Amino acid sequence: MANIIQITDFNTPELDIYARLSEVQLMRLYEPKPGLFIAESPKVIERALNAGYSPVSILVETKHIEGEAAPIITRCGNIPVYTADYDVLVNLTGFALTRGMLCAMYRPTLPTVEEICAKAGRIAILENVVNPTNVGAIFRSAAALNMDAVLLTKGCSDPLYRRALRVSMGTVFQIPWTFIENKNSVWPKDGIRLLKELGFKTAAMALDDNSVSIDNAVLMSEDKLAIILGTEGDGLATTTIANCDYTVKIPMSHDVDSLNVAAASAVAFWQLGK
């Protein structure tokens, strides 16, 4: 049975995770163990639950308790469900709630790169993609367009940040992912070496005169391919490009020289995920 709690005191400590802690603070809440993240909207929360993520509490607009939020609340058992009218919740959180619902959830222990890649044929690597909107959009394209996994360097925005989750529509929970860098592994040198040890050819998406077209027959015939996308604006680091097996360019028209990294990812995944 749901544990519905009407909000009467904004300062209650149980609401800190929604109102007063930043996403970085939530992530580090239980260090060295994984912390928390906030999932927003019934669709995103549902996909997290389907993937086995564990809820801590829910914050929901009162009118949704017996409406769109009802199936989610039922699935979550007896966790606290904090509720108030829309204006109160916006005042509490400082932003408009998508479909009037937030859920605090435990972060998982991430798998290793080796576990992620064990059965993968096509993977995406994100190098220092700092915008959470772009990270979310890339995950959505990766899930939709035949990527088996996503790996991120430590300079990337976290895929479990609220904006990345919302833009991804919860597909972050539908495709395996992890960080390719840790205290014992530095990108690109160690990361690319590991990918090659795991049998992957590496394809750097870059504007380079020595590149091959994205529909190159040899490139497309590779059994295991890692598609590497760089940061907004500057693109991939020179050392990353130099260490890859292929440099790949998307043909352009009308004197356009490049695409946003999220748009480029969709084109690359569609072509190379065939």
CA 258 to chain centre: 23
pLDDT band for position 258 (cuts 50, 70, 90): confident
The CA–CA distances, whole Å, from 143 to 45, 65, 179, 205, 270 equal: 17, 30, 17, 19, 11
Global pTM value: 0.92
CA distance 60 to 38: 13
Residue 253 or 144, more confident: 144
- pLDDT at residue 99 is higher than 80: no
- pLDDT at residue 54 is higher than 80: yes
pLDDT mean across residues, the chain: 92
Closest to 115 in 3D by CA, of 176, 63, 159:
176
- pLDDT at residue 95 is higher than 70: no
DSSP 14-38: GGHHHHT--HHHHHTTTTTS--EEE
The CA–CA distances, whole Å, from 153 to 23, 27, 60, 113 equal: 18, 17, 34, 12
pLDDT band for position 19 (cuts 50, 70, 90): confident
Per-residue model confidence (pLDDT) at position 161: 96
Per-residue model confidence (pLDDT) at position 208: 82
Per-residue model confidence (pLDDT) at position 49: 97
Q: Which of 6-10, 74-78, 234-238, 245-249 has the lowest mean pLDDT?
A: 6-10
Closest to 198 in 3D by CA, of 110, 125, 271:
125
Residue 249 or 1, more confident: 249
Q: What is the DSSP secondary structure assignment for residue 58, as one 8-state letter?
A: E
- pLDDT at residue 179 is higher than 80: yes
List, in sequence order, the alpha helices (H) in the chain. 16-19, 23-27, 42-50, 70-75, 86-93, 113-117, 132-144, 162-168, 189-197, 217-220, 238-243, 261-272
